[in-house]
Chains A and B, each alone.
Chain A
Amino acid sequence: MDSQLLHDLKSLLGSEAVLHRPEELMLYEYDGSVEVARPNCVVFPRTTADVLAIVKLANQYQTPLVGRGAGTGLSGGALARKGGILAVFSRMNRILEIDIENQRATVQPGVVNADLSAAVAHAGLHFAPDPSSQKACTIGGNVSENSGGPHTLAYGVTTNHVLSLEAVLPTGELIRIGSSALDSPGYDLLGLFVGSEGTLALITEITVKLTRLPEAVKTLLAIFDTLDDATETVVDITARGITPAACEMLDGWTLRAVEAYVHAGFPLDCAAVLLLEVDGVAEAVQQHAEEVADICRAHRAREVRVARDARERDLLWKGRKNAFGAVGRLSPTYYVQDGVIPRTKLPATLRRINEIGVKYGFQIGNIFHAGDGNLHPLILFDARDEAQFRGVVAAADEIIQFCIEMGGSITGEHGVGMEKDRLMPLLFSEADLDVMRDLRAAFNPQGLLNPDKIFPSKKGCGEIHVRPLPLAGAPSA
Chain B
Amino acid sequence: MTSSAFSPSVTSRLSEIVGATNVASDFAQLATYEIDRKLPAAAVRPGSSEEVAEIVKFAAAERLALVATGARTKLGIGCAPTRYDLALDMTRLNKVIAHDPGDLTLSVEAGVPLAKLVQILAEHRQFLPLPVPFANRTTIGGLIASGVDSPLRQFYGTARDFLLGMEYVTGEGVATKSGGRVVKNVTGYDIHKLMIGALGTLGVITRVNFKTFPMPLATRGFIARFAIAENALDMRHRIARSALTPLTMEILSPRVAELFGSDAATRYERAPMPGDVISNTEWALTTGYAGNEQVLDRYANELKRLARESSATGVTILSENLPPAWARKREFIPIALASSPATTIVKISVLPVRMKEAIAVAQKAAELNDLRWAAMARGLGIIYFAILPSDHTEQWRQRVTTAASAIQEACAKLAGHATIPWAPAEWKTTLQIWGPSRPDAAQMQKVKSVFDPQHILSPGRFAPNL
- Secondary structure type dominating chain B contacts: loop
Q: A181-B381, A187-B447, A435-B174 are in contact. Are A343 and B102 (CB under 8 A)?
A: yes
Residue with the greatest number of chain A CB neighbours at <10 A, chosen from B157, B190, B438: B190
- Please, which residue of chain B has its CB at the minimum distance from the CB of A146? B186
A410 in contact (CB, < 8 A): yes
Q: Is A183 a contact of B180 with CB atoms below 8 Å?
A: no
Q: Is B292 a contact of A239 with CB atoms below 8 Å?
A: no
Q: Which residues of A contact B240 (CB under 8 A)?
A: 103, 212
A71-86, CB under 8 A of B: which get 1 and which 0?
0000000000000000
In angstroms, Cα B444 to Cα A190, docked, is: 11
A379-417, CB under 8 A of B: which get 1 and which 0?
000000000000000000000000000011111111110
Q: Is A407 a contact of B182 with CB atoms below 8 Å?
A: yes
Q: Is B215 a contact of A241 with CB atoms below 8 Å?
A: yes
Q: A176-B439, A409-B180, A409-B185 are in contact. Are A435 and B243 (CB under 8 A)?
A: no
- Please, which residue of chain B has its CB at the minimum distance from the CB of A342? B103
A1-24, CB under 8 A of B: which get 1 and which 0?
000000000000000000000000
Q: Which residues of B contact A188 (CB under 8 A)?
A: 160, 193-194, 196-198
Q: A243-B214, A436-B191, A438-B450 are in contact. Are A413 and B186 (CB under 8 A)?
A: yes
Q: Is A192 a contact of B189 with CB atoms below 8 Å?
A: yes
Q: Is B103 a contact of A429 with CB atoms below 8 Å?
A: no
Q: Is A424 a contact of B188 with CB atoms below 8 Å?
A: yes
Q: Is B193 a contact of A156 with CB atoms below 8 Å?
A: no
Residue with the greatest number of chain A CB neighbours at <10 A, chosen from B177, B442, B462: B177
A285 CB, min distance to chain B CBs, angstroms: 10
In-complex Cβ contact of B178 among A176, A214, A432 (8 A): A432
Q: Is A281 a contact of B244 with CB atoms below 8 Å?
A: yes
In-complex Cβ contact of A182 among B189, B297, B380 (8 A): B380
In angstroms, Cα B446 to Cα A427, docked, is: 26
A310 in contact (CB, < 8 A): no
Place the interface of chain A in its size category. 35 or more
In-complex Cβ contact of B351 among A102, A190, A428, A443 (8 A): A102
Q: A185-B419, A241-B214 are in contact. Are A191 and B160 (CB under 8 A)?
A: yes
Count of chain B residues with a beta carbon within 8 Å of a chain A beta carbon = 82
- Please, which residue of chain B has its CB at the minimum distance from the CB of A99? B351
A170-185, CB under 8 A of B: which get 1 and which 0?
0001011101111111
B105 in contact (CB, < 8 A): yes
Q: Which residues of A contact B380 (CB under 8 A)?
A: 182
Q: Is B189 a contact of A436 with CB atoms below 8 Å?
A: yes
In-complex Cβ contact of B435 among A185, A212, A340, A415 (8 A): A185
In angstroms, Cα B292 to Cα A410, docked, is: 39
B429 in contact (CB, < 8 A): no
In angstroms, Cα B444 to Cα A186, docked, is: 7
- Please, which residue of chain A has its CB at the minimum distance from the CB of B163? A191
Q: Is B447 a contact of A344 with CB atoms below 8 Å?
A: no
Q: Which residues of A contact B170 (CB under 8 A)?
A: 435
In angstroms, Cα B447 to Cα A436, docked, is: 11
Q: A186-B444, A439-B189, A442-B447 are in contact. Are A408 and B180 (CB under 8 A)?
A: yes
Q: A175-B443, A283-B291, A439-B450 are in contact. Are A432 and B160 (CB under 8 A)?
A: no
Q: Is A195 a contact of B190 with CB atoms below 8 Å?
A: yes
Q: Is A191 a contact of B194 with CB atoms below 8 Å?
A: yes
A238 in contact (CB, < 8 A): yes
9 contacts across the A-B interface (CB closer than 8 A): A159-B193, A160-B157, A181-B350, A187-B197, A187-B198, A189-B447, A192-B189, A341-B182, A443-B446
For the complex of A and B, list the 8 residue pairs with the smallest distance between their C-beta atoms, beginning with the closest. Answer: A241-B214, A191-B193, A215-B243, A283-B294, A342-B103, A412-B184, A344-B102, A442-B446
